[in-house]
Structure 1
C-alpha cells in the first residue's frame, strides 16, 4: 500500500466533490448506504473503530484504516479527520486497488 498515493487520490476525490467527512455526516451516509468506501484514521479511538466497523459491515460497505488523523485531514484540505467516506464508484475502486497493493 502506497499511503502517499492513496492520500493524493483522496484529495483528488475531495476536489471533485466526491468525499464527505466528519463523524455525524459519515454515520448518516453509511446508514443510507451512500458511501462506496469508508476510510478510518489508523490512530482513531477504539470506540470509533468499533462503531464504524460495525456500521460498515452491517451495510456492506468496505472500510479500511489508513494514515493518521492529521494526514487524513490534510489530504482533503481540512482539519484533523477520523473518518472520511468516498461517494463515487470510480474513486472508490481506484483507492481500493491502491490499498490492496
Structure 2
C-alpha cells in the first residue's frame, strides 16, 4: 500500500466513511454501502474467496493490497483483513492510487 493511499484511508476513517472487519464489510457490500473493498494479501483463502465472490456478485471493486498489519495501521486498528470505503469520491481516489 502506498503512503498516500494509507493517508487517504486514515482520512476516511476519521470521517467515518470506513467499515472494517469481515462480517461488517460483507453486510456493507450487500446493502450497497461499500464503494471499494480492500483485502489484505495475507487473508485466509476462505475469507478472500468469500469477500471476492460477494464483491463480484454485487459489482463492488475489490483490491488486494498490503498485509493485515499495514491495512490495520492505516486505519488505526490492529490487524484488519478487510476494509470497505463507503464514500464514492474517497473510494475513487484510493483505488486510483493503488492501481
Report the count of equivalent residues: 99
SS at match of 1:40: strand
In the aligned structure 2, how far is the partner of 1:26 from the partner of 1:61?
A: 11
Gaps of 5+ in 2: none
Report the CA distance between 1:97 and its aligned residue: 1.1
In the aligned structure 2, how far is the partner of 1:56 from the partner of 1:22?
A: 15
- 1:89 maps to what in 2? 88
1:4 paired to 2:3: yes
Gaps of 5+ in 1: none
In the aligned structure 2, how far is the partner of 1:93 from the partner of 1:99?
A: 10
> Cα RMSD between the aligned structures?
1.0
1:66 paired to 2:75: no
Report the CA distance between 1:54 and its aligned residue: 0.3
Q: TM-score scaled to structure 2, two decimals? A: 0.95
Runs of 4+ in 1 over 6 A off after TM superposition: none
SS at match of 1:33: coil
- 2:18 maps to what in 1? 19
1:38 paired to 2:37: yes
